[in-house]
Structure 1
Amino acid sequence: MGKILVIGAGGVGSVAVHKMAMNADIFSEITLASRRVAKCDAIAESVLARTGVTIATAEVDADDVDATSALIERVKPDLVCNLALPYQDLNIMDACLRTGVHYMDTANYEPRDEAKFEYGWQWAYHDRFKEAGLMALLGSGFDPGVTSVFASYIKKHLLDRIDTLDILDCNGGDHGQHFATNFNPEINIREVTAPSRHWADGQWVEGPALSHKQTFDFEAVGEKNMYLMYHEELESLAKHYPEIKRIRFWMTFGDAYLKHLEVLQNVGMTRIDPVMYEGREIIPLQFLKAVLPEPSSLGETTKGKTNIGDIATGSKDGQDKTVYVYNICDHEEAYAETGNQAVSYTTGVPAMIGAAMILTGKWTGQGVFNMEQFDPDPYMDMLNKHGLPWQVKELDAPLAF
């Protein structure tokens, strides 16, 4: 039905193209591109072995708008699916505008030299995409992505009015390493060490990183400490659902992870400003990324489950209600299907579904859009059919602070 160019050959890109190949009725031609074509070729071999589908590969520096534009002109895709680093979002959007192709990503832009991720830079492209008759879909991962679709599903079907929304992200997996991150270490550590931030009564409330925690009993995982954090979907949900009084994001971390992170911060290894070493500048966090395990290498040893979802309070037919919409994903099952662990799987599958929404015309528009701006039903239906089934529960009480 449509040709797609996927840029980015990490774990998420691997999952996405595996799942695209399993849906050849939607994705008629798939090209996977990355700075290192050897990574693309290895994924292509796995896709062929697992699905029987041959995908094309290419080499591209996504920081180079000219090179990316030339690749798009050569491949002539209907959609560019950006699964590269969020630093590269704007360059790839520029290339899409230059070549007249729809755009999609899973994480919002952030500059390399500042740990600040917000939608403002990409929302500023709205008029340009609208005038070009093109669509840009932002954040079709799990969080952001599915959690925003869960919110729109809750608003459409479960509650007449949403008062509070809490997004809970629990990774109960164990990879056997002393310290490793389940997705790009540089991005992960920048997120975790940023100040906490949540939306309350029409304004942002900030606090120190990891300063608020509570324990929650996650189905299929058990009790875990979860910490209040800032995450980008809070910004778009606050914009598009102004009636919600409070929106928060929580993520679980084990004590060992936090102790390692504290030590790394204390000795300066999480810095993103350059330091001189043997006559040349290096970025400590980028060096740390180089010595930590590659996240895509953790799939074979990771066991356990993830549990990610939304808890919303509000009213339905005049009655106060608390509802919980969530997904449980098994690391070992994800690895058996795609060769990647569940953190990559829970982002790569939604990337495939977001691309499918565009290519099938289920979601259409001209300009730059966030996930919660579209009908959740076809997306939710595909989640159930393609490996991320969701559940709905009514809770007796809302989440405490």
Structure 2
Amino acid sequence: MNKVLIIGAGGVGSVVAHKCAMVPEVFGEITLASRTLSKCDAIAAEVLARTGRTIATAKVDADNAEETAALIRQTGAKLLINVALPYQDLNLMDACLLAGCDYMDTANYEPLDVAKFEYSWQWAYQEKFKNAGLTALLGSGFDPGVTNVYTAWALKHHFDEIHTLDIIDVNGGNHGKAFATNFNPEINIREVTAECRHWENGEFVETAPMSRHQEFVCPDGVGTYEIYRMYHEELESLVKHIPTIKRAQFWMSFSPNYLKHLEVLQNVGMTRIDPVVYNGVEIVPLQFLKAVLPNPGDLGQTTKGKTCIGNIITGVKDGKAKAIYIYNICDHEECFAEVGSQAISYTTGVPAMIGAKQILEQLWKTPGVWNIEQLDPDLFMADLNVHGLPWQVVELTAEQAAVLKVI
């Protein structure tokens, strides 16, 4: 019986717990742990009500590798699913090495004191995991995650060479709040306010945050949205592992209301990640802001609309130019009806379960540290259709590609 340990009891952790519980033939004993036991217990009660399965809960400090390793041994977990904060990735990887447990996450490591999104720290664990005979799967969310698998699948089935890649993440949902982020506010705001980088002719080119934007028409009636170019970590691994890519960009939609609030918060210093002294106590403004903003895990109750996330890819096949668009559309209200979460948590949590499934079924059980595009994409793609994130792929003519502007 496969035993797994899920670390993190936020919105994504809740989805992962639900979705793992729905696949009992793969996920046997499930333990959900976080620093706050009451959050785990609340999720476990929801999982029992929705699926009829009982999952165990535990309290753990994910910053403490020895404590986490002890919990891994206690539960007998063969895989640790990390849906905690990116700052904790390395400590959790250390815990897995100490306890002899496979590892996976949905986002790359990020230092606490600087907004620096890169894989170098985790790639440095390659030999440690390989020598231990353990697998570490990096970035099995949606972006990164599914967008990487889309790219690998496209290269396997549609292209001899990929030349351009545009990842477009549109959230057409409306939660009815004056200002809220759809996932952890601290991580979301650090991402959005960081310098933009995109890949062009063999190097990353840096530009000001949110300085390039354009209109994008989503398929299937989702709507028309303004998308902004920003840096996202999957670009780093994709251009490393698919060296024919000449240009790679990441785009995300933002409403004028979101940008207005963010500008004000930046101007008054509330997005700072360095500590300030208030009444003799050091506080980090962004962490304080996180504490007063709505909890993303609670947004599912009010969010309506759809997400549309996908890749526009161009390249050559049999010597001829080719372009495709591969995408998923996800409905916020349908996600809430199924697992009690909005679509942003759902689109991250489902791929986390699927990545874990690939490891436990020995399909991706290869010692070492791997980004998701380095592994065979076919069964992961099939599982997306089965477990709630069905995808579509359409071929684009040169004229259609030109209309999309990002080509």
Classify the secondary structure of the residue corresponding to 2:28.
Answer: strand
Q: How many residues align?
A: 401
Classify the secondary structure of the residue corresponding to 1:27.
Answer: coil
Distance 1:115 1:329 in 2: 29
Amino acid in structure 2 at the alignment position of 1:291: V
- TM-fit CA distance, 1:363: 1.1
Classify the secondary structure of the residue corresponding to 1:227.
Answer: strand
For residue 400 of structure 1, what is the aligned residue in structure 2? 405
For residue 272 of structure 1, what is the aligned residue in structure 2? 273
1:311 partnered with 2:316: no
- TM-fit CA distance, 1:112: 0.7
- TM-fit CA distance, 1:117: 1.2
For residue 197 of structure 2, what is the aligned residue in structure 1? 197
- TM-fit CA distance, 1:161: 1.4
1:301 partnered with 2:306: no
Q: Deviations over 1:69-101 (max 9, x none)?
A: 111110111100000000000000000001111
Q: Deviations over 1:26-56 (max 9, x none)?
A: 0011000000011000000010000000000
Classify the secondary structure of the residue corresponding to 2:133.
Answer: coil
Q: Deviations over 1:95-149 (max 9, x none)?
A: 0001111000000000110011100000000000011010000000000000000
1:372 partnered with 2:373: yes
Q: Deviations over 1:324-355 (max 9, x none)?
A: 00000000000000000000000000000000
For residue 69 of structure 1, what is the aligned residue in structure 2? 69
Distance 1:221 1:270 in 2: 31
Classify the secondary structure of the residue corresponding to 1:391.
Answer: strand
Distance 2:165 2:294 in 1: 34
Classify the secondary structure of the residue corresponding to 1:93.
Answer: helix
Classify the secondary structure of the residue corresponding to 2:329.
Answer: strand
For residue 108 of structure 2, what is the aligned residue in structure 1? 108
Classify the secondary structure of the residue corresponding to 2:379.
Answer: helix
1:161 partnered with 2:151: no
Alignment of 1:1-400 (within 5 A): 1-219=1-219, 220-397=221-398, 398=401, 399-400=404-405
- TM-fit CA distance, 1:319: 2.1
Amino acid in structure 2 at the alignment position of 1:354: G
Distance 2:133 2:369 in 1: 11
Distance 1:124 1:140 in 2: 19
Amino acid in structure 2 at the alignment position of 1:233: E
- TM-fit CA distance, 1:320: 1.2
> Which has the larger displacement, 313-322 or 229-238?
313-322
Amino acid in structure 1 at the alignment position of 2:235: L
Amino acid in structure 2 at the alignment position of 1:62: A
Give 5+ residue unaligned stretches, structure 2.
none
Q: Deviations over 1:254-299 (max 9, x none)?
A: 0000010000000000000011101111100000000000000100
TM-score normalized by structure 2?
A: 0.98
Classify the secondary structure of the residue corresponding to 1:90.
Answer: helix
- TM-fit CA distance, 1:317: 2.4
Classify the secondary structure of the residue corresponding to 1:13.
Answer: helix
Amino acid in structure 1 at the alignment position of 2:405: A
Amino acid in structure 2 at the alignment position of 1:224: Y
- TM-fit CA distance, 1:362: 1.2
Amino acid in structure 2 at the alignment position of 1:235: E
- TM-fit CA distance, 1:252: 0.3
TM-score normalized by structure 1?
A: 0.99
Distance 1:378 1:362 in 2: 9
Distance 2:397 2:307 in 1: 23
- TM-fit CA distance, 1:394: 1.2
Distance 1:91 1:160 in 2: 39
- TM-fit CA distance, 1:316: 1.9
Classify the secondary structure of the residue corresponding to 1:63.
Answer: coil
Distance 2:180 2:143 in 1: 20
Distance 1:395 1:260 in 2: 37
Amino acid in structure 2 at the alignment position of 1:244: I
Distance 2:99 2:191 in 1: 32
